[in-house]
Amino acid sequence: MATYKPLAVQAIPKFGDAIAQDTLYWRGYKTPVQIKEFGAVNKIDFSPVSPYNYAVTASSRIHIYGHYSQEPIKTFSRFKDAAYCATYRDDGNLLVAGSEEGSIRLFDLSGRAPLRQFDGPTKAVHVVGFLSDKYRIFSGGDDYSSDLWDIPSGRKIISYHEHTDYVRCGCANKVHAGVFITGSYDHTVKLFDARTKNSVMTIEHGQPVESVLLFPSGGLLVSAGGRYVKVWDILKGGQLLVSLKNHHKTVTCLCLNSSGQRLLSGSLDRHVKIYSTTSYKVVHSFNYATSILSLALSPEDETIVVGMTNGVLNIKHRKPEERKENSEKKRQPAYRTHVKGKTCTPKREDFCASKPVKNILRKYDRLLKSFQSSKALDAVLEPTIRLHTPEVTVAVMQELHCRGTLRSALAGRDEKQIDLLLTFVSRRVIEPRFTSILVTVADMITDIYQPVVGHSAVVDRQFLKLHEAIGKEIDYQEELLEVLGMMDTLFATFAKKTVTYLEDNKSNGLTETIQTNTT
């Protein structure tokens, strides 16, 4: 036997961004902390070990910030000119940085003076980094070369002069010790292996490469340059996997989140976009005040740090997870007796006698079930439903219309209620999904309350408003039709002439019939 079926409210697919898990996740950051640096922030690097300090390279200084401190806990400032690309080693003990004057300096985090200074490049070194064996450093600079340095001896191991323009970015392979890549303004990304004399692979990005990134597995390479972010499959010989064009200015920095599931890109257009690495769709994006030069994400995604061209460092911390407070509540004895026996899990041989599920109906459903049309309509004209879920109100009206009781539900109302009804109708009647039923409702209201027009100023005003709303809508529709007509003529001229032999074929059947009939 059937139970009462609650009213089905037509859900309309929501246009625009649906609130996805991602949105919720990336929204879960506090309001940013801003720190003013001395110049454009060209690199931010998180220490890979706890407490996850981060090194910020701006102008001629390298600041080390702690997790929540707004003052640097350490500063390296022995650069004559701008410092570049301060990068932590995997164990978080050493830091290497390039500089405008061409030297590469290696710092111990506990000391102040550089441990080593690698001299050799004649021009600015924009990119430095440790290889994953910890004893070698790669660098790239404005002298078009990519070099490899030995830390213990402090000497250059090998130098590749393959790029034909400034080398501006690089990245070491985390899995294979001798492998690193550099990207250059000559539009290429080159893959080097320390064991060989020449580059192993060259990838044509197409624009000056601003940033490169290797996936933790080392199989995928992401390059950013111009407005494009491109993902390449190294294992397939540098095949282009996907090309993303979601920024409208040069993409300056790339970053992966801790799980490797999301790719972040920052750009001069003041946006940080977050892509899913499975679908390469933008799942979220952040807005910043000025153009972004550098970007880093702490392990566990606890902090997003963004450096801007105007020297502002923007730090966002994650909100602490909301704890469920149920566990902390004191259990009262009454509750315990109430719960008694409910926690029992049935064993396999037990017979389960289920209690009939009591389905709780909404108020309007209860009223509809007992055929109280007027009250049901009253129930859905309550402000909470009327304002937030107008589709419920309209669905009830539709249902009442189906039952043939809409007129009696609308009739017999006082001034206040008519005012309310008319406000609702005149506001919603222009929404296409509600139009058909609300036109009927408006019709009925005018029909029913026509005799009392002129008795109440409030109702009269509402009628005028309704009139105005409908008039506007008609004008709008007319305009739309005009546009449609114009477009039709345009399309008609573009469309090919359809084949005309169809017409001839039409008589075919007829003649055949005659033939068969006569034979």
Give yes or no for residue 207 binding other proteins (CB under 8 A).
no
Give yes or no for residue 113 binding other proteins (CB under 8 A).
no
d(CA 141, CA 122): 9
- Identify the three-state secondary structure at position 172: strand
Q: Which is nearer to other proteins, 203 or 367 (CB)?
A: 367
Backbone dihedral angles phi then psi of residue 88, each to the nearest 5 degrees: -80, 150
Only one of the segments 178-186, 349-357, 436-444, 488-496 lies at the binding site for other proteins (rule: CB under 8 A); that segment is 436-444
Give yes or no for residue 412 binding other proteins (CB under 8 A).
no
Task: Report in angstroms how near the CB of residue 443 gets to other proteins at its nearest.
Answer: 9
- CA-nearest of 190, 148, 183, 185 to 169 is 183
For the beta carbon of residue 217, count every other beta carbon within 10 angstroms: 12
Binds other proteins (CB under 8 A): choice among 161, 281, 416, 455: 281
Give yes or no for residue 1 binding other proteins (CB under 8 A).
yes
Helix (H) or strand (E) holding 174: none
Residue 279: both structure tokens together: 């679908």
Residues 4-23 that bind other proteins (CB under 8 A): 4-5, 7-8, 10, 20-21
Give yes or no for residue 404 binding other proteins (CB under 8 A).
yes
Radius of gyration of the chain (CA): 35
What letter would DSSP give residue 254?
Answer: E
d(CA 189, CA 222): 10
Task: Report in angstroms how near the CB of residue 478 gets to other proteins at its nearest.
Answer: 20
Q: Which is nearer to other proteins, 326 or 498 (CB)?
A: 498
Residue entry with tokens 């799942």? 283
Q: Which is nearer to other proteins, 5 or 329 (CB)?
A: 5
The contacts of residue 6 (CB under 8 Å, 6+ apart) are 359, 361, 362, 365
Q: Which is nearer to other proteins, 175 or 481 (CB)?
A: 481
Q: Measured between alpha carbons, how far apart are the two ends of the chain, in Å? A: 63
Task: Report in angstroms how near the CB of residue 286 gets to other proteins at its nearest.
Answer: 20
Task: Report in angstroms how near the CB of residue 349 gets to other proteins at its nearest.
Answer: 14
Give yes or no for residue 516 binding other proteins (CB under 8 A).
yes
Task: Report in angstroms how near the CB of residue 408 gets to other proteins at its nearest.
Answer: 13
Binds other proteins (CB under 8 A): choice among 93, 159, 440, 456: 440
Binds other proteins (CB under 8 A): choice among 14, 336, 355, 506: 506
Give yes or no for residue 436 binding other proteins (CB under 8 A).
yes
The contacts of residue 414 (CB under 8 Å, 6+ apart) are none
Residue 12: both structure tokens together: 């309309």
CA separation, residue 75 to residues 55, 95, 309 (Å): 9, 12, 20
Binds other proteins (CB under 8 A): choice among 402, 411, 464, 474: 402
d(CA 68, CA 47): 14
- CA-nearest of 192, 222, 228, 191 to 208 is 228
Q: Which is nearer to other proteins, 50 or 279 (CB)?
A: 279
Task: Report in angstroms how near the CB of residue 327 gets to other proteins at its nearest.
Answer: 30
Residues 369-398 that bind other proteins (CB under 8 A): 369, 398
Give the footprint of other proteins on this chain (CB under 8 A): 1-5, 7-8, 10, 20-21, 276, 278-279, 281, 368-369, 398, 401-404, 436-437, 439-440, 502, 505-506, 508-510, 512-513, 516-517
